[in-house]
Chains A and B, each alone.
Chain A
Amino acid sequence: MRAWLDEPSVWAANPSSIHAEGQRARAAVETARRQVAECVGGNLADIVFTSGATEANNLALRSLPHPIATTAVEHPSVLSAAVPLLTLPVDAHGRLPAPDAFVADAVARGAKSISVMLANNETGNLHPVAEIAAAARAAGLRVHCDATQAVGRVPVHALDLGVDLLSFSSHKMGGPKGIGALWVDPDTVLDVLIRGGHQERGRRGGTENVLGAVGFGAAAAALADDDLPRIAALRDKLWAGIALIDARARVNGDPDARLPNTLNVRFPDVDGEGLLMNLDLEGIAASAGSACSAGSLEPSHVILAMGVPEREARGSVRFSLGRDTTDDDIDYALERLKMILARLRAPGWGAPP
């Protein structure tokens, strides 16, 4: 990617231009498109670059027959998409019903399509998308999968999943922000969202984000599965340490099927907002819920959908590990967390929040 940064065509030339610089930019975009396609086992022609997974989800949902059955734990870009939705519940661990039952329920409610995420962004739960897609196909339903959180963390293969549309994002796999992609089954016709140009084979107007695409492609090409067991081991070590520090702490999510890098912990009786502020002050970047327009935290709709009371949902924190996370990082986080929890539980000045 660094080499591309020195290449003026990447950031100066328009890939649609016929001059040599334009053609080099075109080549850069198409190389990236191939890299991105390959990371989900797809063909170059089936990738539509978007501004990110949010746009990809919006584009996907408007392109499917309505109403669309989805789950209560989807990303807001699915749950807020301007199409008729049927939102199906999850259990206390955030799990979906068995695939056949899930699809049968969707059909019974009159769904014409299904949109289900491959991995949940807050709990890391992995959903049985291939099985759901098979059952859905048998019932004549179309399927979209938001794979944003999964690509790069578990192997993802669009054709094996058997879905019609698959969204994912560059920055979730270590690439730059501001670009994502929708993989489109060749038989699926999109209801174009961004109009005003023939780019992306007429499926998304606007001059290509060449630099973003190059970064996206580089990140996709650099994906490696070999680090995932190490990350999972560190994640498990973090949880084991937390359980020792606070016997009341609980994992939010599926005990059996989760991403290797995600740990969402609920600390009952702890001021979640104070916990997050403290963690940040100690240099530990954790997250919880979503920020409102003013910047304050709202409890996660995912955790609430699991039936966790609001107060405990506010005391839920997600730790995400990455390729750069080391054993020492986990030791440091545990040591600081122990101090922070003691501080938060100490008698305070004034009333508890």
Chain B
Amino acid sequence: MSGGVDSSVAAALLRKEGHEVVAISMRLYETAPRSDRSCCSPDDMFDARSVATRLGIPFYVANYVDAFRERVIDYFVEEYRRGRTPNPCVACNNHLKFDVLLGRTKALGGDWLATGHYARIEHDGERWKLLKARDLTKDQSYFLCGLPRELLGRIRFPLGDMAKTEVRALADEAGLPTAFKPESQEICFVAGTSYRDFVKEKLAQEDVRPGNIELEDGTVLGQHGGIHEFTIGQRRGLGIAWPEPLFVKRVVPETGTVVVGTKAELSSTGLIAGTCNWLRWDTPPGPFDAEVKIRYRADPVPCHVSPRDDGAVEVTFRDPQKAVAPGQYAVFYDGDEVVGGSVIEMAISGAPE
């Protein structure tokens, strides 16, 4: 329980169904920046505790500061150092919530772990499936692409069928102190500052790589203060006057070069992604058609997926896609079902370079 409205209502619903519920808040970083828009600060722990008291369930704070630093914050900084765009929420789900916390659930004698995520896990008579939330505007299945397939039956998302408005109404009705808390939208551990400042502070001096901003043909348009400030598809903050809008196309960490181009140049025909976490099968029987989401806020688009022998996957879009960012996740869907997901290693450009 983060101290937000979603996990509060998830706990309340389970309690209402008569389950024996134990609330756990994860403490993830040392000194929480004071902000209303993130979770896991001491204030949020206080809120979570109030909710647990209100629901009459035991409440504990689990200290996962070390694991979070190693597996989320260090990863986050390292990805920016490599000129990539990390997804810390996926990392947190993979390594904290659905790994150590799931382990803790068993160690406490629990049958399953529930969270306030907007997604569904259902059994169709043959196997467990991870599905999009009923409320597609809140769907968080993208962030859950790394769930362990063999443990899907140990995980529940009580809010999967609900709309956010219903959740808030339920919280209000139940008198939960978190009913009207604002949404958490920032990356929790950088709340109160910008992710650029956060990363720069964590990077070793020699890893802050200033360099040129160039066009694909090598024309130097300007300089920048460090590649960690750039993400594929980024338009703002380039500081360059040019007849057409320019976007970040590639980041070359070795030289500190940020390559920019026009919107048309941003297109990719496909991508290569790393070892895939499959949720439908142990390993896929062969190439298949699916839809792919290349970032959380992207719509799923049709594609062809070719698993390679080394576990990586090659993805070909039916229509070219813009701003494929290494470090983000490619999550494959069949309708509502999450088939699998893996980290994007590189974009495949249609035009020869």
**A contact set with B: CB distance below 8 Å:** 271, 273-274, 277-278, 280-281, 291-298, 343-344, 346, 348-353
Distance between A90 CB and nearest chain B CB, rounded to angstroms: 25
Give complex CA distance A293, B109 in Å.
Answer: 27
B residues 91-147 in Cβ contact with A at 8 Å: 95, 98-109
Q: Known contacts being A350-B100, A353-B67, is A277 close to B60, with CB within 8 Å? A: yes
**Contact status B102-A350, CB under 8 Å:** yes
Binds A, one of B41-49, B198-206, B323-331: B41-49
Q: Is B25 an interface residue (CB 8 A)?
A: yes
Is the CB–CB distance between A296 and B58 below 8 Å?
A: no
Within 8 A of A (CB), among B150-209: 151, 154
Contact A271 B107 (CB under 8 A): yes
**Which one, A281, A291, A293, contacts B22 given CB within 8 A?**
A281
Q: Which of A297, A298, A344, A351 makes the CB contact (< 8 A) with B99?
A: A351
Q: What is the CA–CA distance of A292 and B65 in the complex, to the nearest angstrom?
A: 12
CB-contact partner of B107 in A291, A296, A297, A344, under 8 A: A344
CB-defined contacts of A294 to chain B, threshold 8 Å: 25, 27, 32, 40-42, 45, 61
Is there an interface contact between B64 and A353, defined as CB atoms closer than 8 Å? yes
Give the number of A-B contacts (CB < 8 Å): 85
Closest B residue, CB atoms, query A314: B63
Nearest chain B CB to A315's CB is how many angstroms away? 13
Among A291, A295, A353, point to the contact of B100 (Cβ < 8 A): A353
CB nearest to B150 among chain A residues: A349
Instruction: Say yes or no: is B240 at the interface (Cβ < 8 Å to chain A).
Output: no
| Interface residue? B14 (CB, 8 A) | no
- Is B27's CB under 8 angstroms from A281's CB? no
Given A294-B41, A296-B61, residue A348 in contact with residue B27 (CB < 8 A): no
Chain A contacts for B62, CB-based, 8 A: 273, 277, 296, 353
CB distance from A160 to the nearest CB of B (A): 43
Q: Residues of B contacting A298 with CB < 8 Å? A: 63
Contacts of B54-107 to chain A: CB distance below 8 A = 58, 60-65, 67, 95, 98-107
A sample of 15 cross-chain residue pairs with beta-carbon separation below 8 angstroms, ordered by A number, consists of A273-B60, A273-B63, A274-B104, A277-B104, A291-B61, A292-B63, A294-B32, A295-B45, A297-B61, A346-B106, A350-B100, A350-B103, A350-B151, A353-B67, A353-B103
Range for the number of chain B residues in contact with chain A = 20 to 34
Kindly state the separation between the CA atoms of A323 and B24 in the bound complex, as whole angstroms.
32
State whether A278 touches B109 (Cβ < 8 A): yes
Tell me the smallest distance from the CB of B85 to a CB of chain A, in Å: 26
Chain B contacts for A274, CB-based, 8 A: 104, 107-108
Q: Across the interface, name the chain B residue whose C-beta is closest to A292.
A: B27
Quick check: is B210 within 8 A (CB to CB) of the other chain? no
A295 touching B25, Cβ below 8 Å: yes
Interface centre among B25, B60, B102 (most CB of A within 10 A): B60
The CA of A271 and the CA of B106, in the complex, are separated in Å by 13
User: B302 an interface residue at 8 Å Cβ cutoff?
Assistant: no
CB of B148 within 8 A of chain A? yes
Q: Please give me the residue from chain B that is nearest to A278 by CB atom.
A: B108
Q: Is the CB of B106 within 8 A of A349?
A: yes
B116 to chain A, nearest CB (A): 19
Question: What distance in Å separates the Cβ of B202 from its nearest Cβ neighbour in chain A?
Answer: 22
Measured in the bound complex, the distance between the Cα atoms of B41 and A348 in whole Å is 28
Residues on B with C-beta less than 8 A from A281 are 22, 58, 108-109
Q: CA separation between A298 and B99, bound complex, in Å?
A: 22
Given A293-B42, A294-B45, A295-B49, does the pair A349, B32 have CB atoms closer than 8 Å? no
Indicate which residue in A292, A293, A295, A348 contacts B106 across the interface (CB closer than 8 Å): A348
B53 to nearest A CB, angstroms? Answer: 13
Residue of A nearest to B99 (CB): A350
**A contact residues around B63 at 8 Å (CB):** 273, 292, 296-298
Contacts beyond the supplied A295-B27, A296-B61, A348-B103: 19 A-B pairs with Cβ under 8 Å: A271-B104, A273-B60, A277-B22, A277-B62, A278-B109, A280-B58, A291-B61, A292-B27, A292-B63, A294-B32, A294-B40, A294-B42, A295-B42, A296-B45, A296-B62, A296-B63, A349-B105, A350-B102, A352-B103
Report chain B residues within 8 Å CB of A352. Answer: 100, 103
Separation of A352 and B102 alpha carbons in the complex (Å)? 10
- Residues of chain B lying within 8 A (CB to CB) of residue A295: 25, 27, 42, 45, 49, 61
Q: Find out whether the CB atom of B107 lies under 8 angstroms from the CB atom of A278.
A: yes
Residues on A with C-beta less than 8 A from B61 are 291, 294-297
Report the bound CA distance from A40 to B27 in whole Å.
42
> Considering the chains assembled together, what is the distance between the CA atoms of A297 and B61 in angstroms?
8
Shortest beta-carbon distance from A262 to chain B in Å: 23
Closest to A297 in B: B63
Residue of A with least CB distance to B100: A353
Leading 6 A-B pairs by shortest Cβ distance: A296-B63, A295-B61, A296-B61, A350-B103, A296-B27, A348-B103
- Chain A residues closer than 8 Å to B42, beta-carbon distance: 293-295
Chain B, Cβ-Cβ closest to A291: B61
- Could you say which residues of chain B place their CB within 8 Å of the CB of A346? 106-107
Q: Which residues of A contact B105 (CB under 8 A)?
A: 349
Contacts of B151 in A (CB 8 A): 349-350
Cα–Cα distance between A293 and B62 once the two chains are bound (Å): 13
B139 → chain A, closest Cβ, in Å? 24
- Give the residue name and chain of the A residue nearest to B43 (CB): A294
Measured between beta carbons, the chain B residues less than 8 angstroms from A273 are 60, 62-63
In the assembled complex, how far is the CB of residue A285 from the closest CB belonging to chain B, in whole angstroms?
12
User: Chain A's nearest CB lies how many Å from the CB of B275?
Assistant: 17
Contact assessment for B41 and A343 in the assembled complex, using a CB-CB cutoff below 8 Å: no
Provide the residues of chain A in CB contact with B58, threshold 8 Å.
280-281
Contact A343 B109 (CB under 8 A): yes
- Contact assessment for B108 and A349 in the assembled complex, using a CB-CB cutoff below 8 Å: no
| Beta-carbon contact of B25 and A277 below 8 Å | no
**Most B C-beta atoms less than 10 A away, residue of A271, A349, A351, A352:** A349
Most chain A beta-carbon contacts within 10 A, residue among B40, B45, B61, B107: B107
Return the contact of B148 from the options A278, A291, A292, A350 (Cβ within 8 A). Answer: A350
**Nearest-Cβ distance from residue B279 to partner chain A, whole angstroms:** 16
A353 to B154, alpha carbons, bound, how many Å? 18
Known contacts A273-B63, A278-B109; A351 and B103 CB within 8 A of each other: yes
Task: Find out whether the CB atom of A349 lies under 8 angstroms from the CB atom of B103.
Answer: yes
B148's closest neighbor in chain A, by CB?
Answer: A350
Q: Which residues of A contact B100 (CB under 8 A)?
A: 350-353
